[in-house]
Structures are given as structure tokens and as C-alpha cells.
Chain A
Amino acid sequence: MVIDLDKCTGCGACMVSCMSENNVPFKEDESDKKLSITWMRVYKLTNGKSFPEAEIVYLPRPCQHCGGIGDHGHSPCVSVCPATATDYGYDTGIVSQIYTRCFGCRYCMGACPYHARHFNWWDPKWPEGMENYLSPNVSPRMRGVVEKCSFCYHRYQLAREQAIVEDREIEEKEYQTACTTACPAGAIVFGDLNNPAHKVHQIVKPDPHPDPMNHKVVGKSRNPKVFRLLERLGTNPKVYYMSDREWVRKAGDNYLKGEWENVKTHHGASSSHG
């Protein structure tokens, strides 16, 4: 996935679409965001300057579906789950979450630096009658388990079933996440990062080799405007971000004093295959 932060308006349509698609519950008081389940969460960042030089950017953050160090499938959360309730799919790169396996130890939540994982501190309850809009494609959860963005895996399953029946590949437009289709600004682009025909690949141009400056990192974007959150930790997320603005790109990671100037022009290497 790649999200154009210069197009994002912070409207929150992605957040609502995700909640509606995935049967996410809601409580009477959702103002404590640390207790509010939003698989997709839009953060608001600022450049730290004063009026009128102040600038903001909205940053939608779904689960990053990390590939872990070296992109071998050892996502920070997958490696630590004691019951294999979360697993890395080597075919899709998607980190799954099985609610009926999870017993709620919350280790994965501690391991995730993106706070992409949410816990059901309460039993999800819908006002009388509202259960009618729940979708059968996504299991409603019980309390005491962790949930997170699944890249709308049920949509992948539906598209894949159709493709199998028709004996062909899934087309790019057949599997799109709810947040992608909702975004009125078209800021989110979703598809197969490894497929050169897909838009997301063409924008991101990920470098499949380990980054010579940091061997933990694989898939660094060759596009100078594209970056990933906390890339240098080696989480190797599937979610890329894009911005014309330097301060936004810098905010994606942590840098020591003066370090940014040295690394800001370092991008994925051009293909060594000519």
C-alpha cells in the first residue's frame, strides 16, 4: 500500500469505511483514543513551527503488515505471539489475526511500535437493531482478544475464490481494501508490490535487495518521495508513504542530530539487472 500524504485531507472516511467493513464496535465514549478500536487511525502531525509557518499533515496508519528483519516473515508481533494467533502469510505478505486462537496476553501489542493492534477491553455490543448491518465476511470479536487491520483479507478471499473458479489471476481492481475504495481524495493506492503492472509497484518501486546502509531493511523505495514509518528498525512494513514535503518524510523515522542530512537522499538502489 502507498499513501499520498499530500492528498490526504484527514477526513476520516478511511477510518469509518474500515470500521463498517470489519464489524468494529463503538462505545458511548470514544474520546480516550487509547481505548478506542480503530484499525485504521489517522494521526495528525505538525512541523513544530509557529503561526503562520505552522504546517500539518494527516497520516493514516493501518496495520503495517511488517515482514520483519530482512523481510523473512518475523514481524515484531508474529515472532512474539505465544499461541500463533497471528501469523505471516508468505503468499500475501499479510499478517493475519485469528480471534478464536488469541487468548489475550497482549504481548503483540507491546511489540508493535506502530500501535496498530487493539484490544477488546469490553465485550463489543451494538445498540439494539444495529447488529443488522454487520457483515458475515468478518467475524465479530469477543472481549479479551486482540484485533487489527487485515488488509481486508476477506476481500482477498472472495476475489481469490472467484479467480480460482474462473481459472485466472486476480485483477488489480478486484482486491482493494475498504480504506482504499473509500478515500475521496484517492490518496491510498493498494495492490501487489511485486507486480510491475500494479500501480503501487510503479509508485513505490521497491528495491528487493537489503539496504547497503542497513541490512535489516529490504524493499526500500527507489522513489525519493516515498518512505516508510520507522524503516530503520527493520520492521519492513508493506505500507509506504509519499510526500513532497521534507519535514513529513523526516517525521517518518527517528534521526540523531545531523543524521537526516546524510540519509535523506539515500533511496533504494537502481536495479542491478540493468
Chain B
Amino acid sequence: MLDDALIPEGAKRCAFPIFIIGIIIVGAVLLWGVYAMFLCWFKGLNQTNMNDYYGFALWIWADLAVIAVGGGAFFTGLLKYIFKVDDLKNIINFAVIIGFICYSSALLILAIDIGQPLRGWFIFWHANVHSMLTEVAYCLSCYFAVLTIEFIPNILENRQVNKVPFFHHLAHNMHEVMAVFAATGAFLSFFHQGSLGGVAGVMFGRPFAYREGLLIWPWTFFLFTWSAAAFGPCFTLMVTKITEIITGKKLVGDKTVNLLAKISGWMITTYIIAKIIDTVYWAFVTVPSMGFELGHFYSNNGFYGYWILITEVILCGVVPGLLLINKSTRENPTTRTIAIILGVIGVCLNRWVMVLQIMAVPVMSFDSWALYIPSWQEVATTILPVAYGIILIAVAYRYLPVFPQELELNEPADAAAQN
């Protein structure tokens, strides 16, 4: 094959032309997204269906969702490097790559979403220390740098790159100190995941979003960090599963998968209990003190009903939690996969609710519900990072030793293929 020299030693990869075709197909979707991106940059945000009632819409949801599911990176890193859960070494590289994709996507979407992108740096230079978004910007940027640093060793381990002694030693040394970065990453993630929850929770003018809390941090701060840590691994496992299906190989051993699933399950369960307590308090204490009944937020409109609350908390929260803490359902690939998918949906739904439902709910007694459907430009630019992620995973998988267990898990099959 054309690129044999780049493929990790002993690994089997599909034919280069097939690979290129795949890249091109996904690349076409990516280019569609790039076109939409340029439309937004040059024509302005009127290319979207956002309006004065929907200042935060699909993009912000995508940002929050992608960061939440990217939480698998920091949490897995924390577990592996700080809590020394060694089995996770089999999935940590991939978690980092997923995290890298998620965070670079978030930054890209933000660059498109703000009205004056050339002034984006004001958030650093003219920071308002009271704003949750300031915290998000700083920690997100720093954490992206951390993810980059965590990703680099894997890149340096490419067969050809690794031949360069400098890079070989650099990679080795970086691995040695990775714990520091993992700790830094976890610290930063705690804050920016939380601050994203804080973005919603501090809005005392929006009873649907507002939460009481601890000192300056509304409860949503902690719930967001917790849910990112809980559901992020689900996303890591889900993408792993998809990659395994596409490549036709087993890439991570069951032991690691089940371990991560179990940890995730317990995180989900404890999170959902906290979430239920928070929801009940908010519904029966906080919002009545602001003059609202719970039903106000779930009726008299064409979309948001109690179904969304029940789906998020019960179907996509309690259910996956229970499925993953219970050994038999966890170790059964079908139920585990169902649990993982429900989990990912659940966290995405939570982020949707905490961005879009807030915008939709009327606060003034004479105001009305606002509903919103994204424009194709918004959809294209949201799919853009997904396409980019697919391409990056494809390239990384093809050329980098992402999965330490790849060879051992596929030996018989590969050997058989060779014979």
C-alpha cells in the first residue's frame, strides 16, 4: 500500500484507495460545513434562524453537548493517571483524541457563533471576572492546550515520526509527566464543565434556568461537571464501538470496557440522584418563590412538555445508570450499548434543555413561547466538526498506535487473513 510506512508496525489497515474514498465522502460533508461557515462569517449571523429571543441556539447547544461528551477525556485521564486505574490505559489514547476533537470543535463553533469573531480575544483581555463565560473561555482554552499536549505523544509514536530520536525521547518523557497534565486537565475541566452549568444557573432573570447553590456556584455548576464525568465515558465507549464496527476490529478489551462502563454507571447513578433532588427542590421551592408553577415550563407550547423531563431524567438517566451498574446488563454487549446510547442522548438532552428550553420559556406574564428551528447553515456548521472528527479519528487510527490492545485482540483474525 501507498502509505505502508506510516501504518503502525504489525497492524492491518484497509487499502489506501478505500481509505481515501472514505475521507473524500466525509470531506464533502465537511466542505459543505465550511461553505456555511464562510457564509456566516461574511454575511453575518442573519444566516441562522436565531433571533432576539433565541440568542443561544443550536450552536451553543452543540458547544455544550460536545464539551460534555468530551468529558470522557478528562475523567478517564483523572482515573488512569491520578487514581491509577491502570486498565484504562487501553482506552486513554482514544479518549484523548475524542476530547481533542470535541474541544477543537467547540472552539471552532464559538468562532463562528460570536457576532464579531475578530474581537473574540476580548474575552481574555477585557475579562469580566463575574461572568461564568469568562471562566469557561479561559479554562476551555487552557484545557484545549492540555489536550493538545496529551495528544502529541500519540502523534510522536507514529512509526516514521518515532524514528527521529528527538521525537522518540520527547514522547517518552511526556508520558512520564502525563500525570501532571491529567491533573491539570481534570482541575480545568472541573471548572469549565461546571461554569457551563453556571452559565445557565446564574440567570436569575430566567426562572427555568436559575438555581440556588453554594457561594457563587449554582447547583447546575456541580451537576454539569458530574454529568460530564458520568456521561463522557459513555461517549468514549460509543465512539469506540462505532470505530470497531467500521474497522471490523476489536480495539479495546472487554475488561477495560466493562470497567469504564461500571465507573460510568456509578457516576450516572449518583449524578441522577443529585439531579432528581435538584429538580425537585427547584420545582417545589425555587420557582414558586419566583411566582411560577412547574407546569408553566412544560405546557402551552408546541414542543416542550413533561416528556422531555422524563426522557432526560428517567429514560436517559436512571435507566442507563441502572443498566451499567448491574453486572449482567453491563457485560451484555447489547444492553451495554443501549445504555451507552441512552446516556449520550441523556446528556445531550440535558444540554438542550439548559440552553434552548430556557430561551423558549416566557418570563413576563404577557410574553409568549418562542420556538425555533435551525437553518441549514447552522446544521451544516454543526455537522462540520462531526465530519472533521471522523476524518481525524480515521487518520489517527490509521497511522497512530491509538489502541494498545489492537494487535493482541485481533491476532487470530489477522493471522488467519494472512494465511
User: Do A and B interact directly, with beta carbons closer than 8 Å?
Assistant: yes
0/1 interface trace, chain B 268-291, chain A, CB 8 Å (1 if under): 000000000000000000001111
A residues within 8 A CB of B202?
79-80
* Residue of B116, B205, B206 ringed by the most chain A CB atoms within 10 A: B205
Most buried by A among B50, B55, B133, B366: B55
Residues of B within 8 A of A230 (CB): 205, 363-364
Q: Which one of B123, B204, B289 has the greatest number of beta carbons of chain A within 10 Å?
A: B204
| B53 CB contact (under 8 Å) in A115, A121, A253 | A115
Q: How far is the CB of A171 from chain B (nearest CB, A)?
A: 34
In the complex, A83→B9 CA distance in Å? 50
Compute how far the CA of A80 lies from the CA of B132 in the bound complex, rounded to whole angstroms: 7
Contact yes or no, B206 A104, CB < 8 A: no
Name the distance in Å between A248's Cβ and chain B's nearest Cβ. Answer: 10
| A110 contact set on B, CB distance < 8 A | 55-56, 203, 206, 358-359
> With a CB–CB cut-off of 8 A, which chain A residues contact B364?
113-115, 229-230
Asked if B52 contacts A115 (CB within 8 A), the reply is yes
Q: Residue B333 at the A interface, CB < 8 A?
A: no
In this assembly, does A122 line the interface, its C-beta being within 8 Å of a C-beta of chain B?
A: yes
Q: Is the CB of A79 within 8 A of B365?
A: no
Q: Are A82 and B366 also in contact (CB < 8 A) when A103-B115, A106-B55, A120-B115 are?
A: no
Given the known interface contacts A110-B359, A143-B44, A254-B292, the answer about A103 and B56 at a Cβ–Cβ threshold of 8 Å is no
Whether A34 contacts B199 by the Cβ 8 Å rule is no
Would A79 and B130 count as touching, CB distance under 8 A? Answer: yes
**Bound form: Cα–Cα A232–B153 in Å:** 55
Check if B122 is an interface residue, CB within 8 A of chain A.
Answer: yes
Contact B205 A82 (CB under 8 A): no
Give A111 to B210 CA distance when docked, in angstroms: 10
- Whether B131 contacts A43 by the Cβ 8 Å rule is no
A197 near B: Cβ within 8 Å?
no
Interface bracket on B:
35 or more
Q: How far is the CA of A227 from the CA of B359 in the complex (A)?
A: 25
What residue in chain B is nearest A117 (Cβ atoms)? B52
One digit per residue, 1 when the CB lies within 8 angstroms of any chain A CB and 0 when it does not, for chain B 34-59 equals 00000000001110001111111000
User: Which listed residue (A35, A82, A123) contacts B131, Cβ 8 A?
Assistant: A82
B-contacting residues, A122-151, CB 8 Å: 122-123, 142-146
Contact yes or no, A103 B203, CB < 8 A: no
Report if B120 contacts A (CB, 8 A). yes
Is A198 an interface residue, CB under 8 A from the partner? no
Residues 130-159 of chain B, each 1 if its beta carbon lies under 8 Å from chain A, else 0: 111110010000000000000000000000
Give bound CA distance, A45 to B120, whole Å: 40
B52 with A82: CB separation less than 8 A: no
In the complex, the answer to whether A144 meets B133 with C-beta atoms within 8 Å is no
Q: Is A233's beta carbon under 8 Å from chain B?
A: yes
Number of interface residues of A (CB under 8 A): 57
Chain B residue numbers with a CB within 8 Å of A233 are 204-205, 207, 290, 363
For B117, list chain A residues within 8 Å (CB).
103
With a cutoff of 8 Å between Cβ atoms, the chain A residues found around residue B119 in the complex are 83, 101-104
Whether A82 and B291, one on each chain, are in contact in the complex, defined by CB atoms closer than 8 angstroms, is no
A67 part of interface (Cβ distance < 8 Å) = no
Total A-B contacts with CB atoms under 8 angstroms apart: 162
Residues of B within 8 Å of A257, CB to CB, are: 293
Q: Provided the pairs A107-B131, A145-B116, A233-B204 are in contact, do residues A113 and B53 lie with their beta carbons within 8 angstroms?
A: no
B133 touches which of A45, A107, A232 (Cβ 8 Å): A107
A-side contacts of B114, CB under 8 Å: 103-105, 144
B15 proximal to A (CB < 8 A) = no
Q: Which residues of the partner chain A approach B288 to less than 8 Å between Cβ atoms? A: 256
CA distance A253 to B367 in the complex (A): 11
Across the interface, B122 reaches (CB within 8 A) one of A34, A43, A83, namely A83
Known: A103-B114, A230-B363. A81 touches B131 (CB 8 A): yes
User: A232, B290: Cβ atoms under 8 Å?
Assistant: yes
Contact yes or no, B205 A111, CB < 8 A: yes
B258–chain A nearest beta-carbon distance, Å = 41
Contacts of A120 in B (CB 8 A): 115
From the candidates B130, B203, B207, B289, name the one contacting A74 in the complex (CB within 8 A): B130
- A204-236 CB mask vs B (1 if < 8 Å, else 0) is 000000000000000000000000011011110
A42 to B54, CA, bound (A): 20
A254 and B204 contacting across the interface, CB-CB below 8 Å:
no
CB pair B366–A59 under 8 Å, yes or no, is yes
* Contact indicator A69/B204 (Cβ below 8 Å): yes
Q: CB of B245 within 8 A of chain A?
A: no
Please name all residues of chain A whose beta carbon is closer than 8 Å to the beta carbon of B132 when the two chains form the complex. Answer: 80
**Please, how many angstroms separate the alpha-carbon atoms of A146 and B114 in the complex?**
11
With A83-B126, A102-B115 known to touch, is A121 a contact of B45 (CB < 8 Å)?
A: yes
Residues in A with CB closer than 8 Å to B293 are 256-257
Q: Tell me whether B133 and A104 are in contact (CB under 8 A).
A: no
When chains A and B are docked, how far (Å) is the Cα of A106 from the Cα of B199?
Answer: 12
Closest to B372 in A: A34
Q: Mark B106-129, 1 if CB is under 8 A from A, else 0.
A: 000000011111011011001110
Contacts A/B (CB < 8 Å), 23 sampled: A34-B51, A34-B54, A34-B370, A79-B202, A80-B133, A82-B128, A82-B137, A83-B123, A84-B127, A85-B126, A102-B115, A103-B122, A106-B56, A110-B358, A115-B52, A142-B116, A143-B44, A230-B205, A230-B363, A233-B290, A250-B365, A254-B290, A254-B291
Which 9 A-B residue pairings sit nearest by Cβ, starting from the closest?
Answer: A104-B115, A144-B115, A106-B55, A254-B291, A113-B205, A34-B51, A109-B55, A103-B119, A76-B205
- Beyond the given pairs A115-B364, A229-B364, A254-B363, 9 more chain A to chain B contacts, judged by CB atoms under 8 angstroms and listed by A's residue number, are A83-B119, A83-B126, A102-B115, A104-B119, A106-B50, A111-B205, A112-B205, A118-B52, A253-B291
Q: Residues of B at under 8 Å CB distance from A? A: 44-46, 50-56, 113-117, 119-120, 122-123, 126-128, 130-134, 137, 199, 202-207, 288-293, 296, 358-359, 363-367, 370
